[in-house]
Structure 1
Amino acid sequence: MFIIKDGYPFIIVCLIATAIVYYFFGAAWAVIPLVLAIYFAYFFRDFHRSMPYDPNILYSPADGTVMGIEEIFDDEYLNEPALKLTIFLSVFNVHTNRSPLDGEIKYQRYTCGQFVPAYEKSASFENERHAIGIDNGKMRFLVIQVAGLLARRIVSWVTVGHQLKQGETYGMIKFGSSTELIVPRNVEITVKKGQTVVGGVTVVGRIKAE
């Protein structure tokens, strides 16, 4: 386990506040910023995960719970009938996002929006979101980071032209959110609604043999 660099400012500020509060008001009050520092260290945790490479499966793009699986027509990147898998991330989940499969980022779009709870169905359309479209020559898919009620900033460490490896971390959403994976119909979804998934570990889809 390690702490993501984006979390250090939060942790350091809380530790400084702990020292100041302890000096002026005593240990009892210093507990509050200290607990916050511990929580930020917990929230911004991540793990080195290395799973077997397989070009025919898609790993989960996030830790969390499967909120829904539905058939849609994707007019943002695939421009064809597709399947959408939605994963809800609570404030206790690891919040980094990982690429389900390897490929090159061919599409990227950041959309400003509202901050309704991530578990609400309308969040997919109303909330702040960041989408990346990936193409590996054999198939294309779309991964979307959706902000939630508490998540007010989506972080991305990649851009168009970046080559992602299967399971590679490419960004995170701060403090509660959801992640959507949109794939062509030739992908068989291997998880069910309500199932807990682990980013870069749980197999969520399998490419059907032609």
Structure 2
Amino acid sequence: MKIAWYGRNLIAWTIAGAAVLSTGVQILDLPNLLKLLVPVICIVVVGFIVFFFRDPERYPILPPGESHVVIAPADGKILSVAEVYEPEYFGKSVWQVSVFMSPLNVHVNRVPISGTVEYLRYVPGKYLVAFDEKSSERNERMLIGIKNETLQVLMRQIAGFIARRIVCTLNVGQSVKAGERCGMIKFGSRVDILFPKSHTPVIHLRDSVKAGETIIAIPEKHLSHFS
């Protein structure tokens, strides 16, 4: 199982701490039950941390060159599909699809379209629960604008009540391909993907999606060809 490099330091520290704690309880004069339970709990914690930072390979459904579709940027369930006014990047009404990531989902985020990164902005903020609609505007977040010859999208990595660390590996001017890794949000939260009304969402509320694989939206003129 491949592990995301974003979590390797935390995994190393967790393993070291678990080893010290498990060894310590064996040395000290403690009840036998405690000597048994502590190592078991440590193994469970280490196992969860390793599981959380898993990073499976993903492959976009469409072949290279398909620049007109929007791919899911995160694993999880569709929390909302709505028309919203986005003042900062688009300056107009657009579609917004929100993906909620539980602590059990893969948390590596992926680029939703091929193109060039033209906008990045980190916004400090609060840590409301991820399913609160106000979290898109009030929580700590990273804004990522990507554009190609036919489409532009805005991706929001949003920290939540548990997730308080956003990782973004992109730079302005960088060329990216749909489905490639671009960061993660540690320990659950949400990702919003915003795109023009020229495209139509092809997912529904509570659908499960996979980053880098599930198609989120296609041009309205191509709807008749989508199945």
TM-score tier (shorter): over 0.9
User: Could you tell me which of 132, 151, 168 is aligned with 1:120?
Assistant: 132
Q: Match for 1:15: what amino acid?
A: I
Q: 1:33: which partner in 2?
A: 42
Q: What is the CA distance between 1:162 and its match in structure 2?
A: 1.0
Q: 2:30: which partner in 1?
A: none
Cα deviation code 1:150-187 (max 9, x no counterpart): 11110011111111101111010001110000000001
User: Could you tell me which of 148, 157, 166 is aligned with 1:136?
Assistant: 148
Q: CA RMSD in A?
A: 1.4
State whether residues 67 and 150 of structure 2, in contact with CA within 8 Å, keep that contact through their aligned partners in structure 1.
Answer: no
User: Could you tell me which of 48, 51, 55 is aligned with 2:67?
Assistant: 55
Question: Partners in 2 of 1:105 and 1:17 — Cα distance?
Answer: 39
Q: What is the CA distance between 1:21 and its match in structure 2?
A: 2.0
Q: What is the CA distance between 1:34 and its match in structure 2?
A: 2.2
For structure 1, the 5+ residue unaligned runs are none
State whether residues 166 and 185 of structure 2, in contact with CA within 8 Å, keep that contact through their aligned partners in structure 1.
Answer: yes
State whether residues 52 and 106 of structure 2, in contact with CA within 8 Å, keep that contact through their aligned partners in structure 1.
Answer: yes
Of structures 1 and 2, the larger Rg is shown by 2
Q: What is the CA distance between 1:120 and its match in structure 2?
A: 0.9
Q: 2:24: which partner in 1?
A: 24
Q: Match for 1:96: what amino acid?
A: V
State whether residues 18 and 31 of structure 1, in contact with CA within 8 Å, keep that contact through their aligned partners in structure 2.
Answer: no
Q: Match for 1:95: what amino acid?
A: H
Q: What is the CA distance between 1:35 and its match in structure 2?
A: 1.6
Q: Match for 1:173: what amino acid?
A: I
State whether residues 110 and 130 of structure 1, in contact with CA within 8 Å, keep that contact through their aligned partners in structure 2.
Answer: yes
Higher mean displacement: 47-56 or 168-177: 47-56
State whether residues 11 and 38 of structure 1, in contact with CA within 8 Å, keep that contact through their aligned partners in structure 2.
Answer: no
Q: What is the CA distance between 1:23 and its match in structure 2?
A: 2.0
Is 1:206 matched up with 2:213? no
State whether residues 76 and 210 of structure 2, in contact with CA within 8 Å, keep that contact through their aligned partners in structure 1.
Answer: yes
Cα deviation code 1:4-25 (max 9, x no counterpart): 1121122212221222222221
Question: Partners in 2 of 1:50 and 1:60 — Cα distance?
Answer: 12
Q: What is the CA distance between 1:31 and its match in structure 2?
A: 2.2
Question: Partners in 2 of 1:156 and 1:175 — Cα distance?
Answer: 15
Cα deviation code 1:52-109 (max 9, x no counterpart): 3322321111100001011112111112221000110000001111111101011111
* TM-score after normalising by structure 1: 0.95
For structure 2, the 5+ residue unaligned runs are 27-34, 223-227
- Amino-acid identity (%): 32
Question: Partners in 2 of 1:88 and 1:22 — Cα distance?
Answer: 35
Question: Partners in 2 of 1:25 and 1:187 — Cα distance?
Answer: 59
Equivalenced residue count is 210
State whether residues 115 and 147 of structure 2, in contact with CA within 8 Å, keep that contact through their aligned partners in structure 1.
Answer: yes
Q: 1:191: which partner in 2?
A: 203
Question: Partners in 2 of 1:173 and 1:36 — Cα distance?
Answer: 19
The DSSP-based 3-state class of the residue aligned with 1:178 is: strand
Higher mean displacement: 82-91 or 17-26: 17-26
User: Could you tell me which of 59, 67, 73 is aligned with 2:79?
Assistant: 67
* TM-score after normalising by structure 2: 0.88
The DSSP-based 3-state class of the residue aligned with 2:129 is: coil
